[in-house]
Amino acid sequence: MGAAFFYHLTERPLEATLPVLLGKALEAGWRVEVRGTDDAALDRLDRQLWLGEGFLPHGRAGGPRDAEQPVLLTNGPGGNDAACVMSVDGAEVAPKEVAGLERVCILFNGADAGAVEVARNQWRAMTEAGVSAQYWAEDGGRWVKKSESG
């Protein structure tokens, strides 16, 4: 059974944090689904991943090679046989999905009260369903594990 890791973004934006986490997931040999809620936001992430430092192979869902993408940006469950789902912008990940994955990463903006509340609700849903969960927060440029459940 997989685990859910919650990343409370307080010092660096999603655009800086996501490529680091994607790189670690790819190093582990995992295919990744980046699940969002808004096409325009996913388009911005797509551009950032192509133009940022380092090369992160990826694609937007709906293309002819979705199943081959090591990283697939999508608004719903993707088609690339992901071992890791990274939820951004409050995208839903059901607790039952975690069992079939290596990891779920939920990234949320600490400066957005609505995003924090969505993440709290996701934490409650995961932990009440018995999913192993970890809460990580930025502290002086480092990630510190603040809480663990399960």
Residue 123, both tokens? 């934490």
89's tokens: 């912008």
Question: 116-148 pLDDT, tens per residue?
Answer: 999 999 999 999 999 999 999 999 989 999 999
Are residues 37 and 137 in contact, defined by beta-carbon separation less than 8 angstroms? no
Cβ–Cβ < 8 Å for 75, 39 = yes
CB-count exposure of residue 124 (10 Å: 0-12, 13-18, 19+) = exposed
Kindly state the DSSP code that residue 84 receives in the 8-state scheme.
E
Look-up of token digits 């600490």: 110
pLDDT of amino acid 1: 67
> How does pLDDT run across 63-102, given as a tens digit for each residue?
889 999 999 999 988 789 999 999 999 999 999 999 999 9
Amino acid at 98: V
> What is the value of pTM for the model shown?
0.94
CATH superfamily, with its number, for domain 3-149: DNA polymerase III subunit chi (3.40.50.10110)
Contact 28, 123 (CB under 8 A): no
